[in-house]
C-alpha cells in the first residue's frame, strides 16, 4: 500500500525570533516517516504534534513510505518575524494618592519600537499626572510589525 499524508502544518506560519510554535503531522498506511531538517523523533501516527523553535525561516519536509516503498512528501515553511514586544516592569510612585497629588508611571520594555503610557504628560520616558479620581494607566509597547504588549495599573484617589 502507498502511504498517505493526511496533515502536515505549523500552528503558526510565522513566529517571532526565539519563540516556539507547534509542528503537526498525520499519516495513513505508512511504515516509515521522517522530517527534514530533523527536529524531533518521528514515527507513523494518525496525528502527532511537537514544539519547534526555528532560528531562521525554515521549510520542513515530511516524507512517508508505505509497504510499496513509494515516498510521498509534503512541505511547510515557517517564517521568522520580529521578536514580540514585552513589558518587563511598570513602576508607579504610589498606588494611592490624594486628589491632585502627582503620580509618576514608568516602565521597562524589551523588543519595542515605541512605548505609550496614557493618560498623563510625557516626562523622560515616563508620564506624570495629577489625578482627581481613581485612574487606570495603560502602558502599551509596540514592535516594528505592530505587535503589542499591554499592562494596566490603577491608582486609587482618596
Give this prediction's pTM: 0.63
CB 97: neighbour CB atoms within 10 A? Answer: 20
Q: What is the pLDDT of residues 44-77, one digit of tens each?
A: 999 999 999 998 999 999 999 999 999 999 999 9
- Name the percent of the chain lying above pLDDT 70: 100
49-72 exposure pattern, b = at least 16 Cβ within 10 A, e = fewer = beebebeeebebebbbbbeeeeeb
Length of the chain: 158
Q: What is the pLDDT of residues 4-48, one digit of tens each?
A: 999 999 998 888 888 899 999 999 999 999 999 999 899 999 999
Confidence of residue 84 (pLDDT cuts 50, 70, 90): confident
More confident residue, 31 or 123: 31
Q: Report pLDDT for 144.
A: 85
Please state the rounded mean pLDDT for residues 93-108.
95
Instruction: Give CA–CA dist 125/97, Å, rounded.
Output: 22
Instruction: Give CA–CA dist 42/45, Å, rounded.
Output: 8
Q: What is the distance of C-alpha 87 from the center of its chain?
A: 13
100-129 exposure pattern, b = at least 16 Cβ within 10 A, e = fewer = eeebebbbebebbeebebeebeeeeebbbb
Residue among 81, 62, 77, 60 nearest 144 (CA): 81
Residue 83's alpha-carbon distances to 9, 21, 80, 112, in angstroms, are 22, 14, 9, 9
Instruction: Give CA–CA dist 107/132, Å, rounded.
Output: 23
Please state the rounded mean pLDDT for residues 120-145.
92
**pLDDT at residue 119 greater than cutoff 90:** yes
Q: Report pLDDT for 118.
A: 95
Q: Report pLDDT for 10.
A: 96
Q: Report pLDDT for 146.
A: 87
Q: Report pLDDT for 140.
A: 96
Amino acid at each position: 500500500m502507498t502511504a498517505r499524508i493526511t496533515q502536515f502544518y505549523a500552528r503558526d506560519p510565522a513566529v517571532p525570533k526565539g519563540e516556539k510554535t507547534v509542528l503537526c503531522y498525520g499519516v495513513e498506511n505508512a511504515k516509515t516517516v521522517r522530517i527534514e531538517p530533523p527536529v524531533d523523533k518521528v514515527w507513523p501516527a494518525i496525528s502527532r504534534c511537537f514544539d519547534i523553535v526555528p532560528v531562521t525561516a525554515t521549510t520542513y519536509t515530511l516524507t512517508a513510505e508505505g509497504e510499496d516503498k513509494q515516498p510521498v512528501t509534503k512541505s511547510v515553511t515557517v517564517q521568522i518575524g520580529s521578536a514580540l514586544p514585552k513589558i518587563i516592569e511598570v513602576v508607579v510612585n504610589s498606588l494611592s494618592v490624594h486628589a491632585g497629588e502627582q503620580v509618576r508611571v514608568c516602565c521597562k520594555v524589551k523588543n519595542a519600537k515605541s512605548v505609550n503610557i496614557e493618560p498623563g504628560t510625557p516626562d523622560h520616558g515616563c508620564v506624570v499626572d495629577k489625578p482627581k479620581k481613581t485612574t487606570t494607566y495603560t502602558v502599551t509597547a509596540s514592535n516594528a510589525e505592530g505587535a503589542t504588549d499591554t499592562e494596566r495599573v490603577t491608582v486609587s484617589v482618596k
